[in-house]
Amino acid sequence: MIKILRAGEVVLTMVAIMATADTLYGQDPQCKVIHAIAMMSKAQSSDILKDQKQKAGNGYWAQLVFASRMMEINPNDKSVANLLLNLIPKRYDDPNQTYWLDLNRVDLCDSGLTLSDMKSLEKLQGHLPRELSKAVLLVPEKMFDYISYSEVLLGDPHSDYAEQMQAVCKVKHLEFLNAIDRLSAEKKSWFVGRILNPDGCHVLTVRER
């Protein structure tokens, strides 16, 4: 039997539905963070990005998305470059490295994100090697961290990290060589033998298309 609701009942029903949706997508703190992070990846200005950052908080994931997107918006800002480079994990076993390999971690909650939101995070993921390379050209004193972390990012077969390093090698060649010399003998052998030969800045590995 179909029940016909009166006007007042319709209003109450809609309020209940909205309250339920708000509980699912608005009240869960983790979902709020994820939504704000997705909005940061789509921000078209520094002001919008900063506004969403306040909602996202200071978690590592939020910081990484903020810094990488800010680097895209302000590619010549040395302070932004430094912010991004400072987020590079200093240890191979740092749990935060998983965020560098997967910015699109929306499976953590039923946050109501759209396909566009997820694609935006995925796009930002693909741009990370490029943004890091632009950043280290502005802050070459971070070159050792930049090169050291290539081992992790190159674990993604679709990453163009090695190709992006070629320009860095050419523009900041001395700093690049000095950073390679600071690697352990084993890592240096791996880097110059399989990733990039600094003599001529020849890339030895390319991403899968």
One pLDDT digit (tens) per residue for the chain, 209 residues: 444 445 444 333 333 323 333 444 444 667 888 889 999 999 999 999 999 999 999 999 999 999 999 999 999 999 999 999 999 987 767 788 788 877 776 555 555 677 888 889 889 988 999 999 999 999 999 999 999 887 766 666 667 888 899 999 999 999 999 999 999 999 999 899 988 999 999 998 776 55
CA–CA distance, 177 with 9 (Å, rounded to integer) = 73
Q: Are residues 114 and 94 in the same domain?
A: yes
Q: Which of 73, 102, 127 delimits the end of a domain?
A: 127
Cα atoms in the Cβ-side hemisphere of radius 13 Å centred on 20:
6
How many domains, the chain?
A: 2
In a domain, 65, yes or no: yes
With respect to residue 20, please indicate whether it lies within any of the assigned structural domains.
Answer: no
CB atoms within 10 A of CB 116: 9
Over residues 99-154, the pLDDT tens digits come to 887 777 655 555 567 788 888 988 998 899 999 999 999 999 999 999 988 776 66
DSSP state, residue 109: S
Does 209 lie in the same domain as 143?
A: yes
The verdict on residue 38 lying in a domain is: yes
User: Both 74 and 116 in a single domain?
Assistant: yes
Phi-psi sector, 116: left (phi>0), alpha (psi -120 to 50), beta? alpha
The token pair that represents 2 in the structure block: 């179909």
Residue 26 lies in a domain: no
Residue 24 lies in a domain: no
Residues 43 and 116 in one domain: yes
CB-CB contact of 69 with 49 (8 Å): yes
Of 142, 204, 133, residue with least CA distance to 169: 133
Among 127, 157, 191, give the residue marking a domain's end.
Answer: 127
* 173 and 86 together in one domain: no
CA distances from 93 to 97, 103, 149, 166 (A): 8, 18, 11, 26
Q: Is residue 2 part of a domain?
A: no
Q: Are residues 175 and 122 in the same domain?
A: no
Q: What percent of the chain has pLDDT over 90?
A: 53
Nearest-angstrom CA–CA distance, 90 and 147: 11
Q: Is residue 150 part of a domain?
A: yes
Let me know whether 207 and 163 are in one domain.
yes
| Same domain, yes or no: 84 and 154 | no
Tell me, yes or no, whether 112 and 63 share the same domain: yes
* H or E element that contains 131: helix 115-138
Domain contains 37:
yes
Distances (CA, A) of 196 to 40, 47, 96, 174, 177: 33, 38, 25, 15, 11
Whether 108 and 42 share a structural domain: yes
Predicted local confidence at residue 106, as pLDDT? 57
Q: Which of 75, 105, 127 is the last residue of a domain?
A: 127
Distance CA 65, CA 105 (A): 12
Assess whether 122 and 68 both reside in one domain: yes
Sequence-ordered list of residues with C-beta below 8 angstroms from that of 132, at least 6 positions apart, any chain? 84, 85, 88, 146, 161, 164
What pTM does this model have? Answer: 0.80
Task: Name the residue range of residue 146's domain.
Answer: 139-209
